[in-house]
Structure 1
Amino acid sequence: MTGIRSLTPPGQPRLLSPQPRRGEDLAAYLATGGYPAAPGPEHLLELVAAAGLRGRGGAGFPTAVKLRTLRDAPGDTVVVANGEEGEPGSVKDRWLLRHRPHTVLDGLRLAAMTTGAVRGYVYLSDPHSADAVRRALSERPPEVPVDIVPTEHTYVAGEESAVVRRIDGGPALPTAKPPRPFERGVGGVPTLVANVETLARLALLTAHPDAAAAVASSYLLTLSGGPKPSVLAEAPAGTHLKTLADHADRSGSAAVLLGGLFGGLYGDGWADLRLDHDELVAAGGALGCGAIHFLPPGDCPVGAAAHATGYLAAQSARQCGVCVSGTQALAGTLAALSRGDGSEEDTGNLRRWSLGLTGRGACGLLDAAAHIAATLLRHFPERVSAHQDGPCPSCADAPSHDGSRLTVTVP
């Protein structure tokens, strides 16, 4: 069972408190200062900008910029709480929707008031989350109408253009960009698509303005890997990955898969990396959705890369020919390497594809697969070469590449 652990300093407002496994009803949320009188839009924008809140869905875009862009847009606007957690190694969004639905709805309320939105949506695929949100909406009907929009659970369903497409009645598949949702989204009007943790932190920092910077610079993380139970954690920016590994009982890990499937693999020196969006990007990784998969000494990074790209290939939306062929080529070649059937030519192909496929799909799925291959070659060249002579014991015993090694259960 997935555990829960907070690494935030005592007394600091946090999302994993006060009773992390107990559902949040209206009375409990009001008792913690929830649904306060909203400050004026300009004041809230200044507060969010000063706190430095970034989006928690993957790209880490400054939240104040997104809010102001929608506020300055002409005509009606729409806000969406995006709770479709496509990353198999992440559980934070579903946990928030199941256990702290009022916090998410409060953040959606504040986003709507700041941008002048006429309607809100909660977009999700988890039935338990939907039930919790319905109960919360019945306890406190929102000032702006809010609809729950269910979708099928897939890797690409949470991509912002797929969110808009599904809410508008189509399939949850990405579309070509531009336009982006903030330009033309749901119903053709400018739309803010915000991750549910982003909205929850917006609510928390508004209720605790004196601690706004600390709230904005803390992260919900899903820590997994190996046979031990996964951990949903909350930690402040600057925390070393070694500290996270220690708290998740994964000391001595040989490597990490960062940011879900988007940040790639990292080998020697991973323990010195810190929980910081810009620092991880500069190191060639990414914080992404805050999912960190630790590889214990017995796990082979070649097998992990094959497993991850195999999952991505199976999750392709199959709309872009280059994504279908590219992910299949990457996954097939890495699977051959993990079996010991690869060659120097295969390694050369991986290097060429990892550079040439980036940025060519409608969404980030192909980029994620290419980055996994690139970081495997960068950090583990000797392991790749060794697999040309035969599989290692770890890869020989590995299960099929179906995503099971990456999937985490919601606590």
Structure 2
Amino acid sequence: MTEQNEELRCIGCGAVIQSTDPAALGYTPASAVKRGLANDELYCQRCFRLRHYNEIAPVSLTDDDFLRLLGQIRDANALIVYVVDIFDFNGSLIPGLHRFVGDNPVLLVGNKEDLLPRSLRRPKLCDWIRQQANQAGIRPVDTVLVSAKKNHEIDELLATIEKYRHDRDVYVVGVTNVGKSTLINQIIKQRTGVQDLITTSRFPGTTLDEIEIPLDDGHKLVDTPGIIHPHQMAHVLSAKDLKIVAPQKEIKPRTYQLDPGQTVFIGGVARFDFETGPHSGFVTYFDNNLTLHRTKLSNADSFYEKYRGGLLTPPTAEELNDFPPLVREEFHVNEKSDVVFEGLGWVTVPAGVTVAAWVPKGVAALVRKAMI
């Protein structure tokens, strides 16, 4: 690696370019470095493959590396723009965020608002998000709803950032898969006209180092690495399956009238059991392309063993050996609530019922106040 290369960074992930260790961050063959500099598009090999072939290569970056990078915010004098995925709010939370932001103000940005039904009033959704953030110990100065993918409300977000920035830097933080890089790309496009500068992916951990975007007054907007949330569905599904379970369009709720002793399978990746309570309506919020199957609770185990990888997909039959077993979580619900399958969706349940959520081992299930 030449001394010159040490000063070069990948425009996709921000890693320092190097040509000596193919397994390490920022690896790029020397010939590719020359081509990248000539074309003014210098990517590391990992980002080049991700950008052109949707491949992802493993790199030696640990959770500690992400936390160390994020920890630099503590000493900064900045506005913290905290991006969460509205559809996967609980999976978007950064544990102990207050330790990283210090006394800096937090602007909460709910991304992917286009996935939720239009019938849901946006002011009500803002209130719900703020309440959920408060429960997690976060007191945002304001809340903005956007769709980075559809470029909805980006102007409002930029105006709100300027309102609270007060001659400071801006740090954009969030866990992986919340659409943070897509949002940054929209901001860059609006400010410079350059499209898709930062590599985006459904895979966890795409942005590997800080990416700095200069602001007009000498300050900077910093895109920090996505913090890997250990309980995300993205860690147990293939890229092909993630395309099936991760919503791309407005969700169409599906209502099931269930008697106790009935089960609804969510593809082959999760399961919802109605254990006890009166005959009730349950509203499901999952990707429109994800097939749901109702059956009797008494034969649900055998049904799953017989049809997983076939009728119950994803995962496909070829992927079953790598798919973790489903683990049961039981909940007794005293008020209208959402039973959440992190990274997948949720089921809204009435008060006075006992239900169970089955999720892949390592993925979280929980109960929260009903969003809708």
Per the TM superposition, whether the score is higher than 0.5 is: no
Q: Structure 1 length normalisation: TM-score? A: 0.28
Bigger Rg over Cα: 2
**Where is the strand percentage greater, Structure 1 or Structure 2?**
2
Report which structure shows greater RCO (CA 8 Å, sep ≥6).
Answer: 1
